[in-house]
Structure 1
């Protein structure tokens, strides 16, 4: 399940202009992240309902939803993994302290029903990373260097055929191309873990292995709302950061951090290589307390987290322009806001059933909620709930069935902006404040390192944020999707 999450446009949500009049709404440029970071597993690690051991499998940003290895690997393939030279080289490097990763994730989506028009889209990313154990390489014990880069490309079904801001493809980003997504060093001081360098905030806070068990971007890596409202740095965007995590017990931890807020770093052509310091317009400060257990600690493991986000850059008002009038009607820039953007969140994963004995076949329920409590923002609150069933049929211990339903509640000012923009285009009325999205999927663990995830998504009240000239509500849409995850190092037995 990677950091999903995943999959993000490399700029802030576009501001309204006289030509396009797009609202400062939740934009996939920062609001839809996809998975993949190679950061080390969190201290006080836990495992809930996905059949993985968090100590070895879950890393912030993983896209894999279930165990990497299938319980019944074909004999011929197992022999290939043991004997091929690539796998041998990767294992040797890992023994020497250098763990290499190369992943490919593809999303295909089509809407045969609803939306502005019926269409299809494909998007994908390729990610390469190195986790270097500096203790083995240069004798600096308990210290790891993380380097990661990714290349995104493709089209968005949500924007182009449906007109809404929430993507149905967690691999899509508004700005395509290569990007340095992570470059940091991490040191363990026993109970205290410190990370310093370039990183994305959503790789470390408010996430879970279950978040990226889906293709929709309402939950991968971080649940929708926080990135749109607060402006969190989110994969593949990164900024200068420092994060500390303290394990109070083997189950309970607290963590906080400081992340530079500099949207210029996400612009096209920057590629994550602009290492400018102290040029941002604010600072992001997250905090979290969490309780996690694993299958090794209790029969029905769980994960509970509560936290906050603060952005000292107050953002802009969704409705008012610089003169205090409707930005949708005047076409002027949105009014800057003083104070801070602040959000609160809570999440829970709870395994509710497990097969007898030591089996990790299980069913886990989950719930997520985010609320805006600071400056006026596009989204008032977001909530989601669902389940992941790991181990579906006899001999399919690592296949999964996933279901999620979410409700994104847009704020009064955001709806007023969209109402006025509709009026300016010659329409009447306002869009609904609640956009409800559901997804049902089946994750087929075809081979170690290869997962195929057909899925069906349904959206009620699609928001018209990218349907600039829409005069009426957008019809509810059905989206048929297919996600393919290929973790090449695992495929080769590395």
Structure 2
């Protein structure tokens, strides 16, 4: 079957979802009016890659900034879970940022091209039985994938935009501190948006556009729209299907306002962000089939829901102490609330701390900890209870799952970090242990993460 021209598909998608994209247009329209001018202290975004790592410095090699990274996780649960086990996972990331100003004299323009290869197993799914992975490198789809392909433009008046194949979580509800941890409760993005809203997150990307305006005093507003295309996330797709709209089942939208104070000023550095997600695709019911009865007991598919999915989030990173040689103590808080169609997660909250500079002579070592509370939707708990009853059990799983993590990041060499890790999971959800008749025992996870950044090792 012949496909419609890309231009026609793009126009039809915009027409179909015009109301949902209105927030994007409004944010752009009001930005210049909210600030007559942008002062010299306007903060440029301290962006991170969609895997949480810092981007290369622009112009590292005559305008080309190459990246070759390896991140590996190993995790075991000697205590608790469905049974004890050990799993390892990892990725290799490669690509480059091209500074068009240095290369061609095109001021404020750059291009990102990144790909990755993934492999390994998931301790949470196979041995503990819960849905929140203890390994931030594990992905459901193994193999190679194009993860990012975009064009960026920054103007002198504080306005900037990005367009291309991008992931939503690269730009929204993200912090460099999130991936100082190994649990998926924090990294790639605080838990909830992926399962509830279906946001694109590393390595999955789709066609999208993000616009941002930086005001005076480090305030900013940004908004973005992204194609919602689950087919592209399947195995063997590899992120190389550039068709626009052919498999689209909705539009993802996010809008965020925040304040980012960088280091080097008298004011303590901080980042405060507040935003909203929306997906025009309504998702599926956590409990009911299309007859309005229990899908689990009726052995029928879950009902497709009308309308859309909406959720709100907020995050705080606050430096509370600064010492010499980059030593610092940062506190963090995260929050997520689903206010749209019922999905898996109802609410998520987390608090934590990150200490850089631990002992004499260890200025770059880090000590990190967090504790989180994931509150599941009541319909999700009812669905899991029905599955337990079918297996011959009684009662229902706990609605709240608590995860804590403590890790120590050793700056072993330039570009190499080794991170022993401990996690403790209270009330593990049984989403991947649906035939259990009783609650899953609380689990202790012992892990090790290794990060190798070749560009940093070589001084690029």
TM-score (norm 2): 0.88
Distance 1:63 1:382 in 2: 20
The CA deviation at 1:222 is 1.3
Instruction: Quote how far apart the aligned CAs of 1:298 are.
Output: 2.9
What residue in structure 2 maps to residue 44 of structure 1? 43
Q: Does 1:187 align with 2:186?
A: no
Which SS does the other structure have where 2:125 is aligned? helix
Residue 36 of structure 1 is matched in structure 2 by: none
Name the structure 1 match of 2:203: 236
Specify the alignment match of 1:399 in structure 2. Answer: 365
Q: Could you tell me which of 390, 399, 402 is aligned with 1:436?
A: 402
Q: What are the equivalent positions in structure 2 for 1:67-466 lying under 5 Å apart?
A: 94-190=60-156, 191-279=158-246, 280-355=248-323, 359-466=325-432
- The 3 A distance-change label for structure 1 pair 226 and 63 is closer
Offset of residue 95 of structure 1 = 3.9
- Runs of 5+ consecutive residues of structure 2 not aligned to the other structure: 1-41
Alignment-derived partner of residue 61 in structure 1: 50
Q: 1:433 to 1:393 in 2, by over 3 A?
A: same
8 Å contact from structure 2 (residues 294, 383) kept in 1 = yes
TM superposition shift of 1:62? 5.3
Displacement, 1:308? 0.3
**Equivalents in 2 of 1:435, 1:147: separation in Å?**
38
The higher relative CO (CA closer than 8 Å, separation ≥ 6) is in 1
> TM-score if structure 1 supplies the norm length?
0.82
In structure 1, stretches of 5+ residues that fail to align are 1-42, 47-53, 69-89
User: Does the aligned pair in 1 maintain the 2:181–2:187 contact within 8 Å?
Assistant: yes
Q: CA deviation at 1:439?
A: 0.3
Q: Distance in 2 between matches of 1:375 and 1:44?
A: 36
The count of corresponding residues between Structure 1 and Structure 2 is 417
| Displacement after TM superposition at 1:219 (Å) | 1.1
Shift of 1:442: 0.3
* Correspondence for 2:5: none
User: Deviation at 1:339?
Assistant: 1.0
Partners of 2:266 and 2:290 in 1: CA distance: 56
- Asked whether the 8 Å contact 1:418–1:431 carries over to 2, the reply is yes
CA contact (8 A) 2:93 2:117 kept: yes
Relative distance call for 1:292 and 1:93 in structure 2 (3 A) is closer
Shift of 1:424: 0.8
Going from structure 1 to structure 2, the CA distance change for 1:59 and 1:480 (only over 3 Å counts) comes to: same
CA 1:92–1:461 in structure 2 vs 1: closer, same or farther (change >3 Å)? Answer: closer
- The CA distance in 2 between the partners of 1:96 and 1:493, in whole Å, is 14
Aligned equivalent of 2:19: none
Deviation at 1:91? 10
Instruction: Give the conservation status (yes or no) of the 8 Å contact 2:48–2:175.
Output: no
